[in-house]
Chains A and B, each alone.
Chain A
Amino acid sequence: MEKRSRLDLLQGTLDLLILRTLQSGDAMHGWAISERIRQVSENVLQANQGSLYPALHRLEHQGWIEAEWGVSELGRRARFYRLTASGRRQFQREAVHWTRVAGAIGKVLELA
């Protein structure tokens, strides 16, 4: 809780990325999510993969994603995450918001 203010932006971004990744509808485990984000973000989010997990747990607590133990493609036990209905709605809201903010920041940067 205490570190929240400093990480707000980063956290929000990460949350959004996770929700976007799970948007496809398939259940994915943490490693798969992290790999997908890395590929899509062209390696921007490579270091500190660990920070993915607190974010996943937080989203789970908020009810936007749900988790279930299953067997991974290589036959190991892994925790699979799936988007819930409310998570889907949340993503849509956040995505709109994010686009607007990003657009605004872009404009500000252009002006500068």
Chain B
Amino acid sequence: MTLGDLVLRLRALMFRARVEQELDDEVEFHLAMARRKHLDAGHSEEDAARLARLDFGRVGSVKEDCRGVRGINLFETALQDIRYALRSFRRSPGFVLTAAGTIALGLGLNLALFTLFNAYVLRPISIRDPYSLYGFTWTDHQGRGHAFSWEEYQQLEKDNTAFSDVAAVQYVYTRVDGHVIQGQLVTGNYFQMLGITSELGRPLLPEDGSAPGREAVIVLSYQAWQSMFGGRPDIIGTKVMVRGFPMEVVGVARKGFQDISEVPRDFWAPLTMAGRLQDGPDLFGSDHPERLDIVGRLRPGHSVSGAKAILTTWSRRITAQLPEDRKAAGILLRSKATSMPLTPELLIMFSPLAVAFVLVLVLACTNVASMMLARAVARQREIGIRLSLGALRRRLIRQLLTESILLTIPAAILGFIISRVTIDASIRVMFATVPQDMLELIHDVPRPVDWRVVAFMVFAALASALLFGLAPAFQATHANVMSSVHGEVTSDLRPVRVRNGLVIAQITVCTLLLVACGVLVRTTMAMSAFDVGFRTASVIAMEVAASSRRPVMDALASDPEVDTIAAASAIPLNGAVATVIIRADDGPTISTAYNDVSPEYFGILGIRILRGRNFTKQESASETPVVILSAATAQSLFAGREAVGQILHLSGKPARDVRVIGIAADIVTCCIPWGKDPALVYLPTTTATSANVLVRVRGEVEAVRRRLDMRLAALAPGAIGDIHSLDQYRAAGMYAFRAASMIGAALGGLALFLTLTGIYGVVSYFVTQRTKEIGIRVALGATTRTVVGLVLTQSLRLTAIGIGLGVGLALGVSRMLASNLVFMRGFDAAAFAAGVSLVASSALAAGYVPSRRAARINPIQTLRYD
């Protein structure tokens, strides 16, 4: 196609009337000239005109050929189809409303899900060149990531590897007025590397982080500035207390930037302040603590795989001198372009949800497909006539598909509204149901309607148009021309098969969704009711800064509402626990979770010592090399032999031999979804050295927790990190499952509703179609019961097939999921029974109403129609 051609085509398209007029004029000129010639040759006026037309040929078809040359026919027939579809929509507004509404429901839900997915996973965060930004770590032989020491970071920066710019960051947090304030300690180049400007004041600069002990400066996030300081414009220059240390606010980062980590940050401070804002060995001291995360910007022109190769070599070289278990085995390079990295794990987690949502859209589409099919059958005669008049089948299918696509336009608009409402509502529900302490961890990212959302919408709308429009279009135009013209509409119809297929598909999907939802709800219930092996009630856990441990302990000991105090390095149910490698002399080597606890730990949580004894106060204070094993650990190490008295070899810093002095009952230390710890050892410690403290309190836990928090904060600002009751930890760990159950229940309900209306529609239609037949049966003496039975048998047969298929699918799915989740059984009979009976009874109800109508058919009236 040349440019000139394009111009001509566009002209024809845009100035259609003018181009048509010109064609008319041109042809008319030719005819006028021809007439003139014939007149000159001596013909009469009338003959001249006739001869001119005869020479010319059929004016209409010539013009049509000329139009064909313009190549905009496709467009014009599309216009015709649209006009035709709109006319037919005007005749049946009820159909349009129901169909568009049904599709909108499915589209809206999926759009809502996609909008959220897009906001967190696809949409790049607003920093300079987000796609070249990567988090980097090396992994050991067990695939565990590595936190860097200051020296390692400096080495990486000096060695000038695959990164053009590399920053080290460390997470710190503190609490102000009972709120958790999360911050990021960063190297001085951080803000420049990300290209983050400031809303107020200045960002952190390389000078700020040039040497340890430089002036204490801090940059607030816009959000924190607004919520904690009311957006005060005179904030610059004021001092803010962070962990009891005054920091000068030098700037507010620009709106919308909440750091590139998964959890939003409220402030940034130079990494050189680490010693002041955090416990433990000095980052720059001789202990070389490993605490830093690395973020780097890939050198321009470096591919990810190239960078991986360079960094792997580098990591191997750096760790070459280290002991085997600390050597780098591989590396991890993770894109920081979006709020959450798009990883295979994320996709695996996300896909069941996505599938459930898509299935609801499929349900909506099958509903509408049934409606379209019924409509197409009603239009059988019209279509038959058009076919017999020589309309091409292709053309008719195109026309019917045009109708489907047109239907998706109001559906998409409505769906968009539904998606916004759904998102707003679900965020409101989330804020209302999420445990308080989790709120601060939620990254509220902007959820704009960007091109990805629009593209998804268009794609989903077109896909659903094909899904619900294609089968009816083919089916409808498949008619036998002769019979349909004669009005014998029902005799030669095969749509029954297609429609039955649709109903079966609907019931299958619905059964699958409901059973899956039932399994999910029951799994969640099982987890909520699960006996974690200890008493969570009335226990509060808190994290105490080393610098203020003494006054805090004294305050707790003298508090009238505090009964017992215990120490633990891992707070049970907190979702994280450290592991160590352990070996028995003539037994296996296993990796086990460990918890450094004081003797009071077992009493405060009511964990029974099954054999042997507890730590003594003295063993705790001197950290004697003794160990208490959980029952499961004893079993896997000594398999029935007496464990107490045996010696175990612990590897790690420092490697040592420990003697088993007792066996404790199994509990859940890490997380409920994983069940009781498969391996856990306790090592002795005291409240004087432990980072975490558990207290059993008298009275209402939440009130005590608040009071303690206030009192301790007043006593020693910044002394207390997290402070929560164990029940709160438990609730927080369960929230994901509760949320999934809620979503599942909502989807299941919707699926049931769609299936109900679908079955109702199809059975009603079936009754209308067979009115004549049923009339004859009634006239011949069929009773109400037989007619109801006739209609119901039909729908129940489909239901049975659908349920069978659905159960089969659900079995497969739950087998697959059960292998990953301790609490999920491969076959949850109760959930299956509940799902199946719900679907079956709904199908029965949806079929019963129209069947009663069938039974009331008046034979005289029906038979009179013919």
Contacts and interface: CB of A to CB of B under 8 A. Distances in A.
Nearest to B1: A61
Interface string A40-66: 000000111111011001101111000
Contacts of A57: 66, 69-70
Given A50-B62, A61-B5, A79-B22, A29 B57 contact: no
Interface in B380-430: none
A1 interface: yes
Given A54-B69, A61-B8, A61-B69, A49 B26 contact: no
B245 interface: no
Interface in A48-104: 48-51, 53-54, 57-58, 60-63, 69, 72, 76-79
A29 B30 CA distance: 9
Contact of B55 (A29, A46, A54, A60): A46
A48 B65 CA distance: 13
B4 A76 contact: no
Contact of B56 (A50, A72, A77, A79): A50
Interface residues of B, number: 28
Nearest to A78: B29
Contacts of A54: 62, 65-66, 68-69
Interface in B66-106: 66, 68-71
Contact of B29 (A1, A30, A46, A62): A30
A78 B30 CA distance: 9
A53 B34 CA distance: 15
Nearest to A72: B29
Interface in B39-70: 54-59, 61-62, 65-66, 68-70
Contact of A62 (B2, B34, B58): B2
Contacts of B8: 60-61
A34 interface: yes
Contacts of A77: 25, 29
Q: How large is the interface on A (under 10, 10 to 19, 20 to 34, 35 or more residues)?
A: 20 to 34
A43 to B, nearest CB: 11
Contacts of A63: 2, 4-5
B32 A53 contact: no
A110 B70 CA distance: 42
B33 interface: yes
Contacts of B34: 31, 49
A49 B55 contact: yes
Interface string B1-27: 010110011000000000000100111
Contacts of A62: 2, 5
B609 to A, nearest CB: 89
Contacts of B5: 61-63
B29 A49 contact: no
Interface string B612-628: 00000000000000000
Contacts of B2: 62-63
B68 A1 contact: yes
Residue with the greatest number of chain B CB neighbours at <10 A, chosen from A50, A62, A63, A79: A50
A76 B55 contact: no
A50 B4 contact: no
B57 A48 contact: yes
A21 to B, nearest CB: 15
Given A49-B55, A61-B8, A77-B25, A31 B68 contact: no
Contacts of A58: 69
B26 A30 contact: yes
Contacts of B59: 50
A30 B55 contact: no
B27 A53 contact: yes
A14 to B, nearest CB: 12
Interface of A: 1, 29-31, 34, 46-51, 53-54, 57-58, 60-63, 69, 72, 76-79
Given A50-B58, A63-B2, 5 more contacts: A30-B30, A53-B26, A53-B62, A53-B66, A78-B26
10 contacts: A1-B68, A30-B30, A48-B55, A51-B65, A61-B4, A61-B71, A69-B22, A77-B25, A79-B26, A79-B29
